[in-house]
Structure 1
Amino acid sequence: MSDSARHFDVAVVGCGTTGLTLAHLLASAGVRVAVIDRWRLPVSFPRATHLDDETMRTFQTLGLTHMEPRYIGVGTYRFLDPEGRAVMEFDMHRGKTEQGWNSDYMFHQPDWESVMRGFIQESDSASAYYGWQVLAIEDGDDVAHLLLRDASSGAETGISASYVVGCDGANSVVRPVMGSEHVDYDATHRSLIVDIEPFVTSPGLPPNLDTFIQAGLRNPVTFLYLSRGMLRFEWLLRPEDDTREFERLDRIYGFLEPWFRPSEYRIARADMYQWRAVVADRWRSHRLFIAGDAAHEMPPHLGQGMCSGVRDATNLAWKLPLVVRGDAPPELLDTYESERKPHMTVFVETAAKMANQIEDMVEVPAHLEPPPVEERGPLRPLMGPGVFAAGDRWAGTLSEQPRFADGTLLDDVVGFRFALVGTDSVLGGVLDTAGPSLQRLGIQVVSASSDEFAAWLSRLGAGAVLVRPDRYVFGTANSPAEVQALISRLEALIQRKPQAALFADVESAT
């Protein structure tokens, strides 16, 4: 690999939701980014289908709010017995949440990827290598070198990058180079996934965008509505089931018979998929990182696989530009794993538990009356130790997104920057006393001028809150002096002050 290869600040390997989110945020910050994917065109069928309110908030930052009307909502989530009776129900349609968006959406990944690839094409800071495979990676002292091959012509070229982020899925080419191994949470399952486009309405399917899992069957089935009028069915295979037998077309038609005749739909996709619950033991090795499915996998029952990868991307997307520009030490990037890995593991463990419960449930207790519909609260774990204010009970929690009096959402004013939100009395004089620091750190000061802002600060028991670009709370304050201390603590990180002042242990605040 030649030293004369074209150089980038960051090379992003893999252009799924994680890679495209990271690449777009980096390019928007002026970082020179290479975007590499072995597929020349976006995926033609949806792999990920669900996004939550936190992820929609990131999509807002990416400039994708115009796509939100194309997404569909989620109704009630039902857990059925073999006869189709509801044993448990959760109301998934909670309307607008404190994040400013609906709690859950179903979206069409090919459309999303097409828009994001268009953003990359329009960017002066990004260079796309679509249809190129990564043949080799060398993690050098000064830069990382990548050898690429054009899948269509066979031509090879070399590039270099200060950092490489593998967002290239479960079969990552970056992870083995790092020497990273999986920690297995023992929830490996196979599923037959069938997406169909129905020509008629089936009276046997639930109305109102409801989802169900029917357990107690030999092969439990999950049903969900997709966007664009598509439907998805997933059948869980047992360990002794023959994959080839389940892939037979007549078997698929038979599985769908309870709801449709073979002439009443078009099969858009029929794939066998193996779900695992694993977390990589190393997310960084010198100049190499992994994110998304390259770093973690989980069964689909929480709908958090893609959302977790997007969180990885936003975490790296505000730290890498600081390091690339020389405004923060490379050690800052160690906090990516320390923050994200514990947070992510909560989702993996929960999804693994759900998957094992469904597989183990051979019999479902009968009931006489329909169960009450319960509201499912969001799973919002605390971030792991990292760049947070020590001793603050709110440090490492997900921030809210209030609206201003005119209806504008907070993130539309702040952008992908730090935000200092507070009352005028607590923020009083901060522009005068901390103006240079605010400018160096790129902190947007926001006056809590609406009832929604006042309510949020009241819930925090604070007069001001400092929020990171990834929307997680750095810390809170109740006086001008505390605000100044909060800013100074953050500036200590940016200015490479002693480590004790840089990385606060969030767990000490809980």
Structure 2
Amino acid sequence: MAHDFDVAIVGCGPVGATLAIALGQQGVRAVAIERETSIYHLPRAVCFDGEILRMYQSLGVADGIAGVSVPMRGFRYENDAGQALIDWDLPYDRTGSQGWGDTHMFHQPDVESLLRRTMAELPGIEMWDGHTVEQLEQDGDGVRLTVRARASSTTRTVTAAYAVGCDGGSSFVRRAIGANFETLGPEQDWVVIDGVKLRPLDDLPEAMIGYCWPSRPHFFVPMGEPRLRWEFMVLPDDDRSVIGTPEGAYGLIERFAGRDDVRIDRSAIYTFRSLLADPWRVGRVFLAGDAAHMQPPLRAQGLCSGIRDTINLSWKLAAVLRGEAADGLLGTYEAERRAHARAWIEIATELSNVINTTDPQVAAGRDAHLLANPMPYRNETPPLGPGLHGDAAPPAGLLSEQAVLPDGSRLDDETGWRFLVAMTPAVEAALDDDTRRALADERWFHVLDPGAAVADELLARHGAGGALVVRPDRYVLGVADDATGLDELISRWTGHTTAAVPH
């Protein structure tokens, strides 16, 4: 069936824009439909980790993202006596396992502007801003959306083979497919204050600090010159008509800075939630980003999780739309990503529980425990849920590491949107004919020379005795000790290709 577009993306914040770029660069025709007419001018998300810079490397925009961001220089929790309960000196000044620094702070409008410019360069991508989706219908052949222009109130219809709701926590698409949120933690109201320095403030910390004060838990977040953020818990006795205003903000931040030091750009009360949608897919319609999951910001993984959604989904959609893989491949999206997002929500909720108590006795017990049992810094990510890798144990389903080559380039730039395969010469010599034919398809496989230093390095990094296969989204498909194991790994992909699927 002919459609206006291959994919309709509802919502074009950073998640929707990233999905549009990922699809467009893989030859998919997509339209992004956004209700606003311009990029929101104030910051919301403020942090990417090294994995997300690696994802953006695949899209060719990582250097641009790095250019509008700064490394986070530490993360600390302090009690009201000034003792460090958590103190992580982040490796901001060196390359991490993803080929980039571990944590980057940014001003979201700068990132969105970069993404929109990249979208505009892709001939297969259209952007309809100032439009709202009022109706969504689907059948076995595609999706039909009724779209209204906000300026003129005129409506039109658009058809697509698939649609993806990237339209935030109040998602129209989520409601349209009948998905509901599962609650994984308590709701909490916090005041978020964004400010800009009016002069140098050398006494402010370089690190992000969580002040675990039972009198009022709060955060200080340096976002890169000259921007700053504070977050304060709203207490039961607070006057909400004051505390969420600039006037109230100056009262909250007075021990950090005054009116002559900082201009308040925003002070507003936000509800931090721990929510997970169910389901993420109905027929030809998918959810991604805040439409699918919401979490407290204390681990800075809300937007990161949305970017992971788009990268996971984009290469699978592209393969199906090009006729290279069967629709069953798309069934792995929710299975893999929902479990992964749940894990991050639970991590963020647990970390938020460390700071959030307002009971002095509970706080004293927490302090004693953390002082006696320091929490080490770990740059780990949860595994994907069962999906393309089956239910194999880690490292299958874990994020892979990226090699930096002797000339300073990064291996993903050679691999592109393909599976990366590393193996020993002994494994290569014993492969069966079907696997050899599959690996000869350079469209889908980037095979490192067996015995090459970079292959041996990656095998060692991932604990692989004989072979390693990394998916196009940089997660490990699996490891193997011998040729038989590698044969099985490759069949996990070839079993989804259209050549292997009966018609």
Same fold (TM over 0.5): yes
Aligned AA for 1:77?
F
CA distance in 2, matches of 1:37, 1:126: 13
Aligned AA for 2:186?
A
- Is the Cα contact below 8 Å between 1:71 and 1:227 reproduced in 2? yes
Aligned AA for 1:394?
P
Say yes or no: does 1:350 pair with 2:347: yes
1:247 to 236, 244, 247: 244
SS of structure 1 residue aligned to 2:469: strand
1:224 to 216, 221, 226: 221
**Equivalence for 1:109:** 108
**Equivalence for 1:36:** 33
1:71 to 37, 62, 69: 69
CA distance in 1, matches of 2:98, 2:156: 44
- Is the Cα contact below 8 Å between 1:198 and 1:264 reproduced in 2? yes
Q: How many Å apart are 1:152 and its aligned residue? A: 2.0
**Equivalence for 1:466:** 469
Further displaced range: 172-181 or 270-279: 270-279
Q: How many Å apart are 1:443 and its aligned residue? A: 1.2
Q: How many Å apart are 1:62 and its aligned residue? A: 1.3
CA distance in 2, matches of 1:436, 1:177: 44
Q: How many Å apart are 1:194 and its aligned residue? A: 0.9
Say yes or no: does 1:437 pair with 2:435: no
Aligned AA for 1:92?
L
The aligned runs of 1:114-263 (5 Å cut-off) are 114-202=113-201, 204-206=203-205, 209-239=206-236, 241-263=238-260
SS of structure 1 residue aligned to 2:70: coil
Q: How many Å apart are 1:191 and its aligned residue? A: 1.3
- Is the Cα contact below 8 Å between 1:417 and 1:443 reproduced in 2? yes
Aligned AA for 1:212?
I
**Equivalence for 2:480:** 477
Q: How many Å apart are 1:391 and its aligned residue? A: 4.4
Q: How many Å apart are 1:498 and its aligned residue? A: 7.4
Further displaced range: 277-286 or 386-395: 386-395
CA distance in 1, matches of 2:443, 2:414: 17
TM-score by length of 2: 0.91
Cα distance change on mapping 1:391 and 1:181 into 2, 3 Å: closer
Q: How many Å apart are 1:217 and its aligned residue? A: 4.2
Cα distance change on mapping 1:426 and 1:406 into 2, 3 Å: farther
Cα distance change on mapping 1:481 and 1:215 into 2, 3 Å: closer
SS of structure 1 residue aligned to 2:209: strand
CA distance in 1, matches of 2:280, 2:434: 39
CA distance in 1, matches of 2:177, 2:335: 17
Note the residue ranges of structure 2 that are not aligned, 5 or more in a row.
none
Residue deviations 1:277-306 (CA, integer Å, cap 9, x gap): 000110000011101100000000011111
CA distance in 2, matches of 1:38, 1:338: 30
Aligned AA for 2:467?
A
CA distance in 2, matches of 1:166, 1:457: 38
Aligned AA for 1:183?
E
Cα distance change on mapping 1:431 and 1:13 into 2, 3 Å: farther
Q: How many Å apart are 1:471 and its aligned residue? A: 0.5
Q: How many Å apart are 1:240 and its aligned residue? A: 5.3
Further displaced range: 276-285 or 255-264: 255-264
CA distance in 2, matches of 1:238, 1:433: 64
Cα distance change on mapping 1:244 and 1:411 into 2, 3 Å: same
Q: How many Å apart are 1:71 and its aligned residue? A: 1.6
TM-score by length of 1: 0.90
CA distance in 1, matches of 2:351, 2:10: 31
Determine what percentage of the aligned residue pairs are the same residue. 33
CA distance in 1, matches of 2:187, 2:70: 30
**Equivalence for 2:496:** 493
Residue deviations 1:254-299 (CA, integer Å, cap 9, x gap): 1121121212221122222111000011000001110110000000
Cα distance change on mapping 1:13 and 1:431 into 2, 3 Å: farther
**Equivalence for 1:92:** 90
- Is the Cα contact below 8 Å between 2:215 and 2:358 reproduced in 1? no
Aligned AA for 1:18?
V
Residue deviations 1:162-182 (CA, integer Å, cap 9, x gap): 111001110101000111011
- Is the Cα contact below 8 Å between 1:204 and 1:258 reproduced in 2? no
- Is the Cα contact below 8 Å between 1:404 and 1:450 reproduced in 2? no
**Equivalence for 2:399:** 398
1:447 to 446, 449, 467: 449
Q: How many Å apart are 1:497 and its aligned residue? A: 4.9
- Is the Cα contact below 8 Å between 1:164 and 1:289 reproduced in 2? yes
- Is the Cα contact below 8 Å between 1:27 and 1:125 reproduced in 2? yes
Note the residue ranges of structure 1 that are not aligned, 5 or more in a row.
500-510
Q: How many Å apart are 1:85 and its aligned residue? A: 3.7
SS of structure 2 residue aligned to 1:409: coil
- Is the Cα contact below 8 Å between 1:403 and 1:453 reproduced in 2? no
Q: How many Å apart are 1:399 and its aligned residue? A: 0.9
CA distance in 2, matches of 1:337, 1:102: 29
Q: How many Å apart are 1:449 and its aligned residue? A: 6.5
- Is the Cα contact below 8 Å between 1:441 and 1:494 reproduced in 2? no
CA distance in 1, matches of 2:85, 2:436: 58
CA distance in 2, matches of 1:105, 1:378: 14
**Equivalence for 2:300:** 303
Q: How many Å apart are 1:429 and its aligned residue? A: 8.3
SS of structure 2 residue aligned to 1:447: coil
Q: How many Å apart are 1:400 and its aligned residue? A: 0.9
CA distance in 2, matches of 1:385, 1:201: 50
Say yes or no: does 1:7 pair with 2:4: yes
Q: How many Å apart are 1:441 and its aligned residue? A: 5.9
Two-structure CA RMSD over aligned residues (Å): 2.7
**Equivalence for 2:417:** 416
- Is the Cα contact below 8 Å between 2:12 and 2:32 reproduced in 1? yes
Further displaced range: 455-464 or 476-485: 476-485
Q: How many Å apart are 1:451 and its aligned residue? A: 4.5
CA distance in 2, matches of 1:426, 1:347: 36
- Is the Cα contact below 8 Å between 2:22 and 2:59 reproduced in 1? yes
CA distance in 2, matches of 1:461, 1:482: 11
Cα distance change on mapping 1:172 and 1:31 into 2, 3 Å: same
CA distance in 2, matches of 1:454, 1:117: 39
Q: How many Å apart are 1:23 and its aligned residue? A: 1.1
Residue deviations 1:198-229 (CA, integer Å, cap 9, x gap): 123445521xx311111224331100111342
**Equivalence for 1:328:** 325
**Equivalence for 2:389:** 388
Q: How many residues align?
A: 493
- Is the Cα contact below 8 Å between 2:448 and 2:455 reproduced in 1? no
CA distance in 1, matches of 2:429, 2:435: 11
1:52 to 45, 49, 53: 49
- Is the Cα contact below 8 Å between 1:77 and 1:90 reproduced in 2? yes
